[in-house]
Chains A and B, each alone.
Chain A
Amino acid sequence: MHYLTTLRRIIIAGFRNFFRNAWLSTAATAIMLVTLLIMITGIIMNIALSKEIDNITEDIGVNIYLLDEDNPRLRKQLTSQLERQENVRSIKYVSKQQALEDFNKDNQSQPEILEGLTIANNALPASLEVRVFDLNEINPIAKTAESSKYQSIVEETSYDNETEDRIKTIGSTQRFVVRGLIAAGIIFAGISILIIFNTIRMAIFTRSEEIKIMKLIGATNAYIRGPFLFEAIVYGLIAATIALAITYVSLAVLGDDIGRYVDFSTVDATFDGYWYLVVIGTYFGGVGLGLASSTLAMVKYLKLE
């Protein structure tokens, strides 16, 4: 009961501090809000672009074209040898007939292309479609397929350079954007800390006489420090709440538009499935920034010994 009463008084004093320096408090909260928004945007961009890369990577890989003289035993040996490689996601055998069917399906709208191609004179080769996890590690697959052991069944190996280039572009965009946001996040976190530090310093100076008297009449250090810590917590709570509201509204309003350019399903899924982690993380970030700044200001300006 006694501790609850004391805690209540500390909280009230913290709120009083917050409103006493209203302009500084608003500036501190605003800059913290910007910091949190940058952090959340960074996380969203990272999730969305990673998923985009994942999607494209899923569609491409190495195609191993097989000679018409099929040797099922050797083909199975090649398949199982490739399957043992860590980078291999999946292997699909596409027979000559399947290749023709796929080709027909893909070119239904252009009958002139299909005219000369029938089952009887099917020129399309059978193939092994190998999907990979990492396109940069594609060489060992090609090397295995092109080894002398499989010379009698493998015609050639190929992969789609254009798609690879696209992945590399998205990958470098992702790295650039995420690194940029991390840098901006660090800069704004620094500015937040400085502004809150300054706000708390002002509050300490404004209340210096009160603090002196509190000490003399027996207030504990925790009772004196508490309001300054709570004031910083208030900045964090308000900034985190607004940041989450802006994020929620932005995703609801702009999500579909952004979805046309990048796959946004994972962002939606992440926010749907792990919304509590996003909420906790944002509040944790805001309150953490506030507490760190306030503690720094108190270490420097609130000497209680």
Chain B
Amino acid sequence: MILFDRVTKSYNREATALSRVNLHIQPKEFVSIVGSSGAGKSTLIKLITREEAQTSGKIIVAGTDYDKLKKRNIPHIRRKIGVVFQDFKLLPNKTVFENVSFALEIVGASNKTIKHSVPRVLKLVGLSNKSDHFPAQLSGGERQRVAIARAVVRQPKILIADEPTGNLDPKHAWDIITLLLKINKYGTTVLLTTHNQDIVNALKRRVITLKDGRIIRDQEKGEYKV
């Protein structure tokens, strides 16, 4: 599903964010990517979502070789990837329903599809009763669930959760992780980046540890050792 072959990302001669990273993530896997700040987690994600291009090496995501990906086709690859951010990135002037339907609107989904899909995904994240609320009226955990609903409403092949629990208390953090596991169970490949040692260690799933732009550990049922 995701293949990195000797991928390096340098911003200039002094600053190398990722250095010769090799990575292979299978479909339907649940992978945690851990590491301290500046380890290269965010860069890795930006390379997958093609917000940035690698300096060298090869990246293949969902069957698309990024070396052959034309600029005009970048939106199409992003539609195969759902992304959840630490700061939620919800639109404050849109309701919960509108924030989720927004992801379908931009790809030209019909109103019928929107009316059918959005309530289903809001039910999945447990927010059926808050579809008319605005983000400001929700708790942090609820906002993150809206963000997850928006990310999965198009049924992406890959879901990237970039520090999704960073702004949440432990209870809400676990709610989000449980939701991600549920989505993974339905067949979506999930990539979770986090600082939260307890969560990673409790998950007992694959853990990739980054340090100074390199993969220093890649374990099935791994642990996050600081």
Contacts and interface: CB of A to CB of B under 8 A. Distances in A.
Interface of A: 1-3, 5-6, 9, 209-210, 212-221, 223, 305
Nearest to A13: B105
Contacts of A213: 89, 91, 102
A125 B127 CA distance: 106
Given A213-B91, A305-B71, A5 B108 contact: yes
A218 B78 contact: yes
Contacts of B76: 218
Contacts of A215: 75
Given A216-B78, A218-B78, A209 B108 contact: no
Interface in B93-111: 102-103, 105-111
A9 B105 contact: yes
B107 A218 contact: yes
Given A209-B91, A305-B71, A217 B108 contact: no
A218 B108 contact: no
B75 A218 contact: yes
30 contacts: A2-B108, A2-B110, A3-B108, A5-B109, A5-B110, A5-B111, A9-B105, A209-B89, A209-B91, A210-B91, A212-B89, A213-B89, A213-B91, A214-B106, A215-B75, A217-B102, A217-B103, A217-B106, A217-B150, A218-B76, A218-B78, A218-B154, A219-B75, A219-B106, A220-B72, A220-B106, A221-B72, A221-B75, A223-B106, A305-B71
A217 B83 contact: yes
Interface in B136-169: 150-151, 154
Interface of B: 49, 51, 71-72, 75-76, 78-79, 82-83, 89, 91, 102-103, 105-111, 150-151, 154
A214 B89 CA distance: 10
B79 A218 contact: yes
Contacts of A210: 91
B74 to A, nearest CB: 9
Contacts of B72: 220-221
Given A5-B111, A209-B91, A215-B75, 16 more contacts: A3-B108, A5-B108, A9-B105, A209-B89, A213-B91, A213-B102, A216-B83, A217-B150, A218-B75, A218-B76, A218-B103, A219-B106, A220-B75, A220-B106, A221-B75, A305-B71
A141 to B, nearest CB: 67
B100 to A, nearest CB: 11
Contacts of A9: 105, 108
A155 to B, nearest CB: 82
B186 to A, nearest CB: 20
A218 B91 contact: no
Nearest to A207: B91
A223 B89 CA distance: 19
Contacts of A3: 108
Nearest to B93: A210
A73 to B, nearest CB: 81
Contact of A1 (B78, B107, B110): B110
A219 B75 CA distance: 6
Contacts of B82: 217
Contacts of A6: 108
A124 B106 CA distance: 88
